[in-house]
DNA sequence: ACATGTGAAGCGCTTCACAGCG
DNA sequence: CGCTGTGAAGCGCTTCACATGT
């Protein structure tokens, strides 16, 4: 099974899903053009993306909202609940822990770790800050598969290795570093200073 | 002049810059292979990227660290100081305001705005939270060119329009929405739930 | 009539492979 | 000799344009 959905398409599936959720209640179908306008994309791109999941559209009509939402959620693995641990109980880690409770459905934050003795034992949102040596046990017992790294750059590589060793298969890295991880571990990077520098580039030429 | 540096290259320039900063003191030159290994890239890609800025390498030797750092900083517009306003004084906005003070050189946070009367007047890091109606004046007086949006999804479009109207030319959007902005305004999106969903996709097929 | 699904063309990025040059 | 700079090939994504299906 497991058709090879192109990475570029995978990145847009969450946008389609959100566009469907934003639709006024009672809306039962919509066209590729509707979706494209809402997201600032080309309609042909929308159709190609959606046709990667199978052919769920109806010619002359468009896509059935409920059915499409279901299929995208399935494709993204959002039919499951994913458990997430955060390493780094600083400002950013705390913000994500709180943000997550509200905004991110389908993901549950099940642990917050840090190695600073000042932070250990304190409470961040609904999570107690635990020491790093409890990470492996916690990942296994609580069934976490995703790790979020919000430690300073200097500690990130070490943390990534600890996460990988603990069995984490996907890492979201907020530290400004490129992580080296074992085969089979997925890393995505979210990098404030890189983003600002890219904006700076485009600002300085105009 | 403004040569047309490809977007894919622009996105990597900040990584090269950081790799140069990470180098042990005293290191005076390095090869495309060194850079490539540090960043997990193909050496040919590194050379092509760097050759876009002009030809600063020395055959048989490599690149001069100081010279290359200078050229990349120049290309990215990091010879200037960019002033940044944040809209949304929630957990994330506060985390960024504090983070920025420490980690992000070349950018200065000059204003924090929110429309909640509970937050207005309170202090976030070194910045007081100001009401939205002071945004236009503040942007002009303080010379801000970058806006960071950390409000809930429902308010993000409205905020983006206010920023554009105030003269902001670049927006970093942390809200889970696709913003529609006037011609000439650059937007970059940083989206936690999208990132998690992409990780979910790759987790669920393996 | 209308909107999807899709070959084919277009385009940009990546990678190769080697000429060029210190 | 070693490493850069770069044509050219390879590859994937985007866009077009229209055949297909209801």
Please check the confidence at residue A75 and state whether its pLDDT lies above 70.
Answer: yes
- Confidence class of residue B206 from pLDDT cuts 50, 70 and 90? confident
Q: What is the mean pLDDT of residues A74-85?
A: 97
pLDDT of B25 > 80? The answer is yes
Give yes or no for CB of A83 within 7 Å of strand D: no
Using the predicted structure, report yes or no on whether residue B159 has a pLDDT greater than 90.
yes
Which of B145, B60, B73 minimizes the C-alpha distance to B109? B145
For residue A63, the tally of other CB atoms under 10 A from its CB is 23
Structure confidence at residue B101 (pLDDT): 60
pLDDT digits (tens, 9 = 90+) for A31-68: 999 999 999 999 999 999 999 999 889 999 999 999 99
Residue A89 reports pLDDT greater than 60: yes
Mean predicted confidence (pLDDT) in B17-22: 96
Average pLDDT value over all residues in chain A? 95
Q: Which of A78, A91, A169 is facing B98, going by the closest CB pair?
A: A91
SS3 B65: helix
- Buried b or exposed e, range A20-40, using 16+ CB within 10 angstroms: beeeeeeeeebbbebbbebbe
The answer to whether the Cβ–Cβ distance between B192 and A190 falls below 8 Å is yes
pLDDT at residue B166 is higher than 90: yes
Å from the B44 CA to the C16 C1': 9
Nearest CA in chain B to A98: B91
CA-to-CA distance for A205 and B18, rounded, in angstroms?
A: 22
Residue of B nearest to A174 (CA): B192
What is this structure's pTM? 0.96
């Amino acid at each position: 099974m497991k058709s090879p959905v192109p990475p570029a398409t995978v990145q847009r599936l969450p946008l389609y899903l959100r566009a469907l959720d934003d639709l006024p209640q009672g809306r039962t179908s919509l066209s590729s053009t509707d979706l494209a306008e809402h997201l600032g994309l080309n309609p042909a791109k929308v159709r190609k993306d959606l046709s990667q999941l199978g052919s769920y559209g109806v010619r002359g009509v468009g896509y059935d909202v409920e059915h499409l939402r279901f299929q995208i959620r399935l494709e993204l693995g959002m039919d499951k609940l994913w458990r997430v641990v955060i390493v780094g109980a600083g400002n950013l880690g705390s913000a994500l822990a709180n943000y997550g409770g509200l905004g991110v459905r389908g993901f549950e934050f099940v642990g917050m770790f840090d190695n600073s003795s000042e932070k250990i034992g304190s409470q961040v949102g609904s999570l107690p800050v635990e020491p790093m040596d409890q990470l492996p046990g916690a990942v296994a017992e609580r069934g976490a598969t995703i790790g979020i790294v919000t430690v300073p750059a200097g500690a990130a590589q070490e943390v990534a290795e600890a996460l990988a060793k603990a069995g984490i298969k996907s890492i979201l890295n907020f530290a400004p570093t490129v992580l080296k991880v074992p085969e089979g571990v997925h890393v995505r990077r979210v990098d404030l200073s890189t983003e600002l520098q890219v904006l700076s580039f485009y600002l300085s030429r105009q």
